[in-house]
Amino acid sequence: VQVDTSNILFICGGAFVNLDQIIKRRIGDRAIGFGSKIQDKIQDADLLRQLEPEDLLKYGLIPEFVGRLPVLATLEDLDEDALVTILTEPKNALVKQYQRLFELEDAKLSFTDEALSAIAKRAIQRKTGARGLRSILEEILLDTMFDLPGLDNVDEVVVNDDAVRSEAQPLMIYADDSKETATAS
């Protein structure tokens, strides 16, 4: 059976472990001997931008497959600002999802800018990127989400820098009882 693949777009993705080592060998990122020129260590992202089809062949992909990949693009790790944007801006952002969960318990959830930055830094430190943001938020808010239905008069829960960096719980702001009785009358 022969299939015409001329109008088929192949998209490949993956970790490709040690592909950077193959690129280093090709570009000669070595300094050996007395007269050799010592080069600065090239960053991984800069190194991967120099990817060529021959590197994929040395990596172990077959030529028939590499020939079907006319464009090679590499991705860079997300930085802190990008992770904070992912946490807050999309329509279904994680912060918005958790705020909605807290609204179901009649409590407002807010995050300080420092807390959002610390969450992003923790994801970078763990090397989990955007996929790790949910687990970090879950660690921070799990106990609070469990305790909140049993607490009375909690008006707002504030996640600050201390709640992210240590085992401290988020701040809970309680509603004023006199204000509640005045509105109930």
Say what the pLDDT of residue 182 is: 33
Mean pLDDT value across residues 20-38: 72
Question: CA–CA separation, 8 vs 4, rounded Å?
Answer: 8
**For residue range 138-169, what is the model confidence (pLDDT) as tens digits?**
999 999 999 999 998 999 999 999 999 988 99
**For residue range 111-138, what is the model confidence (pLDDT) as tens digits?**
999 999 999 999 999 989 999 999 999 9
Residue 181 has pLDDT above 60, yes or no: no
Question: CA–CA separation, 174 vs 153, rounded Å?
Answer: 5
Q: Report the percentage of the chain scoring pLDDT > 90.
A: 57
Mean pLDDT value across residues 52-69: 90
Compute the mean pLDDT over every residue in the chain, rounded to the nearest whole number. Answer: 86
Q: What is the largest CA-CA distance in the chain?
A: 89
Sign of CA dihedral 140, 81, 23, 41: negative
Say what the pLDDT of residue 43 is: 65
Mean pLDDT value across residues 92-108: 96
Indicate the pTM of the whole model. Answer: 0.71
Say what the pLDDT of residue 75 is: 82
How many CA atoms, within 13 angstroms, populate the side-chain half-sphere of residue 86? 16
> Angle 82-111-113 (CA atoms, 0-180°, nearest 5)?
55
In this prediction, residue 67 has a pLDDT band, given cuts at 50, 70 and 90, of confident
Say what the pLDDT of residue 107 is: 96
**Range list of β-strands (E), the chain:** 108-111, 154-159, 171-174
DSSP label at residue 34 = S
